[in-house]
Amino acid sequence: MKVNVKKLNGKAKLPTYGSEFSAGADLYSCEEYAVEAGETVFVHTGVAVELPAGTVGLVYARSGLACKKDLAPANKVGVIDCDYRGEIMVAIHNHGKERRVIGEGERVAQLVVAPYYVCEFCETETLSETVRGAGGFGSTGR
C-alpha cells in the first residue's frame, strides 16, 4: 500500500520500518526537546500523511524509548483519521523522575496503518448471551 507523505519541515524524515516484518513505521522528531519529569511535550515530526480511505493511523509508543527513557505517548495511542492532512505530532510524557532529552532525528513513536469499520450503532433492549457475559477488568484471569 502506498501512502503519500508531505514533509513540512526541512529536518523531517519519512517514516521507516525497522525490519521486513515490522508492523509499525518509526516516526522521527525533527527538533530537540527537553522533557522534564512528569511533563508532556508535543513533538513535531514535520510530516503529514494522506492515508487511504478506510484506514486509520495508530501512533504507538516505541518500546525502547518507553523502557529506557520513561517516555511514551501521553494519550497512549494516537488516532490519525484518513481525512486529516495536518502535521503528525506526538504528545510525549515523561513518566520518570529525571529530565530526558529527545534528540533531533530520534525515533519517538511508531505508526501502524490499519483498516477500520464505520458502524451504525443501534439501540436495543437485549444483547446476545456469551460465556463471559459482563465480566471485565481481569475477570478472565486465573
**pTM for the model:** 0.90
* CATH class of residue range 4-115: mainly beta
Can you spell out the DSSP letters for 22-82? -SSEEEE-SS-EEE-TT-EEEEE--EEEEPPTTEEEEEE--HHHHHHH-EEETTSSEEEET
Which residue carries 527538533 as its cell?
A: 31
pLDDT at residue 142 above 80?
A: no
pLDDT 10s digits, 37-88: 999 999 999 999 999 999 999 999 999 899 999 999 999 999 999 999 999 9
80-132 confidence digits (pLDDT tens) = 999 999 999 999 999 999 999 999 999 999 999 999 999 999 999 999 999 88
> Hey, where are the domains in the chain?
4-115
